[in-house]
Amino acid sequence: MSMIEKSYSLRLRMLTRSAFLLLSIFLILSIGVWHYAREASNYSYDRLLNSASLSIMEGLHVYGKKVDLDLPYAAFEMMQLAAQDKVFYQVLGTQGELITGYVDMPLFEKLKGESHLKFYNAHYLSEDVRVVVRHKRLSEPAVSGWVTVVLAHTLIARQQMMNDILYRSFAVLLGIMVFVMIVLWVAINRALEPLSSISKTLVSHSVLSAEPIQSTPIQEVFPLVKAINDYQAQLLSNLASMKRFIADASHQIRTAQSSTQAQLDIASQSKNVDELPEYLSKIREEHVRLTRLTNQLLTHAMVVHRGDTKIIEEMNVEVIMKQLLTECVRDNAHRMIDFSYQCEQALPLVMGDPISLREAVRNLLENAVYYGPEQNQIEIFLQSNSRSLDIIIDDAGPGIPNELRDKAKARFQRLANDLNGSGLGLSIVASVAEAHGGAFFLEDSPLGGLRTRIHLTIGSALC
């Protein structure tokens, strides 16, 4: 088993995860907004810059052989929209000579081909500026060639506009996020509500009451409630069968005990010493029966417990069978019983619980001896193919009539009252076979008695 994970709040986890997701979305959107704000402010102020440079270009005149500039103030008026911004300009003649303006304006590399206009960012006089370069071809008879107007504008106004757009957008985005988080909080609480209501119901609900938990109209929660109710029903049914078992067992034990008690009482009342041996032998008989019953009950409990806990190991069925048969022969050497052992081929190793299997087969051998005639014949026969293994025990006893065979395998079903059977032996065998994923059969023996067959499947045992 892996270690149990540290406890955590589902609500908190869902909230932090959605907050994290929202934050990522916010970051991506912010980059977009920032980009848009920059583009927008550039676009509007570039248009101003463009018009200003155009009007400067309009102010260029040719006087004789010289190009001269009549600087239109309207151009600078346009640039005055932002009070703190500075404007720099430079006008170059056809030979590239300075006509007017700042000498060392950063000139973009020569404009190529047909383009007349170029915007770019630059650094000038320790300030970031946006520059526009504009070309115009003069074709007067005296002067012909390209003249250039360079106009630069500091970025304060642009920055302000950009920040303005950014702050507004951020405010809206944040508002949406907070709103979404609130909606999520409410939704998560609402979604988790059935969970806490079910646990509240469970706390006040007794497991042993036959009353199931009230069903819910919520489709998603319905399977949980159903699972809890099914579990409870299973528990109750197990409990009921356990109660039946205890009732049956105590009935059997008390019956044996009270007849022993009765014989003891009669014996102690009896004044005739000659009668004592008879009472004693009856007491002994009852006691033997009680001992056998106790042993069977404990074996039954052990087998069921081991079946439930699924104890498995590799077992060599041949070795187990030989040991059991040897014990059985040793204990019954004084009887006229013919034993035989037959195993046709080497048996594969089977996965299972050797202790339970041993108890099961021991029960079958004991039964064969106990219920059989004095001149009995008991044969163990092991048979296997690639998928299954059969442990067959034949006897020459009276057998069990066909119609009583199912009854014989049930718990506390004694077929004959006068015998010392506990009614548990065959049910122990059936439990063991079942725990091994196999089956237990009662059949006709070729020897004329009963054939008991434990059928084990190889490979799928106890899975």
Partner 1 sequence: MRMLLIEDNESLADSIRIYFRNLGHPIDWIDSVEKAETSLSFDDFDLLILDINLPGKSGFQLLQSLRNQGNRVPVLVLTARTEVDDRVSSLDFGADDYLAKPFDFRELAARCRALYRRGRGGASNEIRCGNLVYNLASHSAKISDITLDLRPRELQLLELFLKNIDRVLNKDDISNRLYRYDEAYTPNAIEQTLTRLRKQLDGSTLIIKTIRGLGYLAHVDD
Q: Tell me which residues touch partner 1 (CB under 8 A).
A: 291, 295, 298-299, 302, 322, 325-326, 329-330, 333-334, 338-343, 355, 358-359, 379
21 or 276: CB nearest partner 1: 276
* CA pair distance 392, 381, nearest whole angstrom: 5
Least separation in angstroms between CB 366 and partner 1? 14
Least separation in angstroms between CB 208 and partner 1? 30
Tokens 């009451």 belong to residue? 209
* CA pair distance 64, 95, nearest whole angstrom: 16
DSSP characters over 13-40: HHHHHHHHHHHHHHHHHHHHHHHHHHHH
Residues facing 269 on adjacent strands? none
Token pair for residue 386?
Answer: 């690639």
Are β-strands 450-457 and 388-395 bridged in parallel, bridged antiparallel, or unpaired?
Answer: antiparallel
184 or 382: CB nearest partner 1: 382
* CA pair distance 130, 132, nearest whole angstrom: 7
Alpha helices in 392-450 (DSSP H): 405-409, 425-435
Least separation in angstroms between CB 439 and partner 1? 23
Sort 224 into a burial class: Cβ within 10 Å, 0-12 / 13-18 / 19+: middle
- Residue 124 corresponds to which amino acid? Y
317 Cβ neighbours under 8 A, 6+ residues apart? 347, 350, 357, 382, 389, 391, 456
Least separation in angstroms between CB 326 and partner 1? 5
281 or 340: CB nearest partner 1: 340
302 or 415: CB nearest partner 1: 302
219 or 345: CB nearest partner 1: 345
Least separation in angstroms between CB 418 and partner 1? 22
Least separation in angstroms between CB 205 and partner 1? 38
85 or 359: CB nearest partner 1: 359
130 or 300: CB nearest partner 1: 300
Residues facing 77 on adjacent strands? none
215 or 295: CB nearest partner 1: 295
With beta carbons less than 8 A apart as the criterion, state whether 430 and 404 touch: no
14 or 311: CB nearest partner 1: 311
Least separation in angstroms between CB 221 and partner 1? 46
Closest CA to 166 of 26, 30, 23, 28: 30
Least separation in angstroms between CB 309 and partner 1? 13
Least separation in angstroms between CB 241 and partner 1? 22
Residue 403 gets which letter from DSSP? G
Please give the C-alpha separations between residue 449 and each of 379, 394, 455, in angstroms, as whole numbers. 11, 7, 19
137 or 284: CB nearest partner 1: 284
184 Cβ neighbours under 8 A, 6+ residues apart? 14, 15, 18
Least separation in angstroms between CB 339 and partner 1? 5
Closest CA to 195 of 233, 235, 228: 228
Least separation in angstroms between CB 378 and partner 1? 10
295 or 316: CB nearest partner 1: 295
With beta carbons less than 8 A apart as the criterion, state whether 436 and 449 touch: no
* CA pair distance 181, 188, nearest whole angstrom: 10
* CA pair distance 397, 367, nearest whole angstrom: 10
144 or 342: CB nearest partner 1: 342
H or E element, residue 390: strand 388-395
A 10 A CB-CB count for 106 gives 17
Least separation in angstroms between CB 342 and partner 1? 5
